[in-house]
Amino acid sequence: SVLMPLIDYIKKYYNGNQASFARLTGVQPAQVTQWLDKKFIVVDHTLYSPRRKLGT
């Protein structure tokens, strides 16, 4: 599995263009900003949101 922060995914696959990523994903740019602020990640081209820190 390939895991990367959403910002890195956008840099790699959309030349860093968040507006283009939003348009091609079918969401408003503000939604992408929220995802970035919430530290979403991408695993094998699927977007995931962190839920909570787990105890170690």
Q: In the prediction, which pLDDT does 1 show? A: 84
Report which of residues 24 and 52 the model is more confident about: 24
Q: In the prediction, which pLDDT does 56 show? A: 74
- The 10s digit of each residue's pLDDT in 22-49 is 999 999 999 999 999 999 999 999 999 9
Q: How far is CA 32 from CA 1, 3, 10, 12, 56, in A?
A: 23, 18, 10, 16, 30
Q: Map out the domains of the chain as residue ranges.
A: 3-48
Report which of residues 51 and 46 the model is more confident about: 46
The DSSP line for the chain is --EEEHHHHHHHHHTT-HHHHHHHHTS-HHHHHHHHHTT-EEETTEEE----PPP-
